[in-house]
Amino acid sequence: MGLRYIFLALALWGVFLIGRHLWRQHQQKGDPSQQVKSVDSVQCAYCGLHLPRDEAVNDDGKYYCSKAHLKAADEQKS
């Protein structure tokens, strides 16, 4: 007799979890502010830091996180 209640509770819990998952998916599709926006990122050729491409310093196809690292990389080449 008690086993029936356990199975019933598990079934109700499963229905609750599925319903909650579907509800969250529905809310995320409707609210664009919660959607993740991708950013095109690059890696600094000097220190390896990842940063957005529009914030990086570009020099002949190599990207740097700052002008100081660009200068340090140029000095290192010499």
Rounded distance, CA 56 to CA 67, Å?
A: 9
What HEC string does 10-58 produce? HHHHHHHHHHHHHHHHHHHHHCHHHCCCCCCEEECCCCCCEEEHHHCEE
Rounded distance, CA 76 to CA 64, Å?
A: 14
For residue range 19-60, list pLDDT tens digits in order.
Answer: 999 999 888 776 666 566 788 999 999 999 999 999 999 988
**With 80 as the cut, is the pLDDT of residue 6 above it?**
yes
Q: What is the pLDDT of residue 20?
A: 96
Domain chopping of the chain, boundaries = 2-34, 41-77
pTM score, whole prediction:
0.53
